[in-house]
Amino acid sequence: MGDKLETVTPTEAQLKARRNRNIAIAIALVVFVILVYVSSIVRLGPTLLNRPM
Amino acid sequence: MALVEKDSYEATSFQLSEATASDYLALLKPRVMSLVVFTAFVGMLAAPVPLNPMLAVTAIICIAVGAGASGALNMWYDADIDAVMSRTKTRPIPAGKVTGGEALGFGLVLSAMSVLTLGVFVNWVAGSLLAFTIFFYAVIYTMWLKRWTPQNIVIGGAAGSFPPMIGWAAATGSISLESVILFLIIFLWTPPHFWALALFKSGDYEVAGIPMMPNVAGEESTRRQIFAYALLVAVVGVLPWYFGFASFAYGVVALALGAGFIWYSWKVLSMSPQDSSMRPAKALFGFSLLYLFGIFAAYLVDSVVARFLLAAGA
């Protein structure tokens, strides 16, 4: 207790690279979600929306 | 007493990554990927069963990502030899941009995701073939054959030959003679393509200790084998016409391309042993890329035209 937590301070280049990677991951995730969504609808067809109560 | 000794993670040994998305993209071998996408696309479109366009897009993305993932696994395992070869020393791992562990994780996650997505949304025959392709390239070729035998790219070439078969399986859910012939075209094309490269890059492979054919059997034997494979490629190239899967027009194009392949291989076979510029080998390497693109493009156009004529006549 009392010890100051040691952290790493990223350099400007590291922050820039991290931001670049984050944007790429976000784009990849969005593409994957769209792919799964559209493929599900194509595979299951109209029955996907047919949910009798 | 601390659970983790401070000295065990010296500031010099720990560094935040400076890798960008393009470094990770380079791990996927985009140029190889483009050939994989093209041949898979041809296999898919030539299949007699039309695939829903959206599922076709899904399948192509999965095949591309799966092929890329196997490239990342290859770069993880081969980082040591990539570092000493002029052609590969700027790859992300030897260049110090991505760590081996990061490449391994990236490759494994993408492999699993691509196979599962292809299996669930398209079909499991295609998914299984993609899984086998990744396994074959990463384990059988990279980890086993590449450093062990000069036949490495002959057997390992199967990994690069599967994409049209996966494309075909994505559409039909099966494997047939047509897709086996497409497989064979790439399979028999791979040795002369890579041995032409190995002839003018043999120094590189020697330094890295990779038993490529020119280093092990000598240049003369390699040139003879290149010619023999060129003959086989030329014959297999016209098989789709011979079996009636493609038109006479395709047969003519395949014959012309095959004759070109034999001609360039003959130039390699007959080049002087003192020819250090290796111009015929470089020319064959360039033509081999043109050959593969040309023959698959011809098959694609032929299939599309045949389907169009059938629809117009019906």
Going by pLDDT thresholds of 50, 70 and 90, the confidence category of residue B9 is: very low
Q: Give yes or no: residues B159 and B187 share one domain.
A: no
Chain A residues inside the 8 Å CB shell of B19: 17, 21
Q: Give yes or no: residues B169 and B38 share one domain.
A: yes
Confidence at residue B232, expressed as pLDDT on a 0 to 100 scale:
98
Rounded Cα distance between B292 and A46, Å, is 41
Q: Which is higher by pLDDT, A44 or B98?
A: B98
Confidence at residue B196, expressed as pLDDT on a 0 to 100 scale:
94
* B13 occurs within a structural domain: no
Question: Final residue of a domain: which of B115, B149, B174?
Answer: B174
* A22 occurs within a structural domain: yes
Segment B185-193 mean pLDDT:
97
Rounded Cα distance between B67 and B135, Å, is 10
pLDDT under 70: residue ranges of chain A: 1-3, 46, 48-49, 53
B270 and A CB contact within 8 Å = no
Confidence at residue B1, expressed as pLDDT on a 0 to 100 scale:
45
A17 → closest Cβ in B20, B54, B58: B20
Question: In chain B, how many domains are there?
Answer: 2
* A50 occurs within a structural domain: no
Q: What is the pLDDT of residues B114-167, one digit of tens each?
A: 999 999 999 999 999 999 999 999 999 999 999 999 999 999 899 999 999 999
What tokens does B26 get?
Answer: 């380079």
Mean pLDDT of chain B: 92
Q: Give yes or no: residues B180 and B138 share one domain.
A: no
Question: Final residue of a domain: which of B143, B174, B205?
Answer: B174
* B70 occurs within a structural domain: yes
B14 and A CB contact within 8 Å = yes
Q: Give yes or no: residues B226 and B137 share one domain.
A: no
Q: How far is CA B222 from CA B36, B149, B150, B229, B289, in A?
A: 26, 14, 10, 10, 19
CB contact under 8 A, B24 and A39: no
- The structure tokens 């990342």 sit at B72
Q: Give yes or no: residues B80 and B186 share one domain.
A: no
Which one of A22, A35, A37, A48 makes the best mutation probe of the B interface by having the most chain B beta carbons within 10 Å?
A35
Chain A residues inside the 8 Å CB shell of B61: 31, 35
CB contact under 8 A, A14 and B18: yes
Query: What is the span of the domain harbouring residue B198?
Result: 176-307
Q: Give yes or no: residues B170 and B223 share one domain.
A: no
Question: Final residue of a domain: which of B174, B196, B226?
Answer: B174
B3 and A CB contact within 8 Å = no
Q: Give yes or no: residues B43 and B129 share one domain.
A: yes
Residue count of chain B? 314
* A5 occurs within a structural domain: no
Q: How far is CA B203 from CA A12, B86, B161, in A?
A: 40, 10, 27
Residue B281 dihedral angles phi and psi, to the nearest 5°: -65, -40
Q: Give yes or no: residues B57 and B92 share one domain.
A: yes
* A53 occurs within a structural domain: no
Query: What is the span of the domain harbouring residue A26?
Result: 13-45
Segment B263-281 mean pLDDT:
89
Question: In chain A, how many domains are there?
Answer: 1
Q: What is the pLDDT of residues B198-248, one digit of tens each?
A: 998 878 888 888 898 988 899 899 999 999 999 999 999 999 999 999 999
Confidence at residue A6, expressed as pLDDT on a 0 to 100 scale:
75
pLDDT of residue B189 exceeding 50, the answer is: yes
CB contact under 8 A, A42 and B54: yes
Confidence at residue A45, expressed as pLDDT on a 0 to 100 scale:
78
pLDDT of residue B175 exceeding 60, the answer is: yes
Q: Work out the minimum CA distance from B16 to partner chain A, whole angstroms.
A: 7
pLDDT of residue B6 exceeding 90, the answer is: no
Q: Give yes or no: residues B84 and B132 share one domain.
A: yes
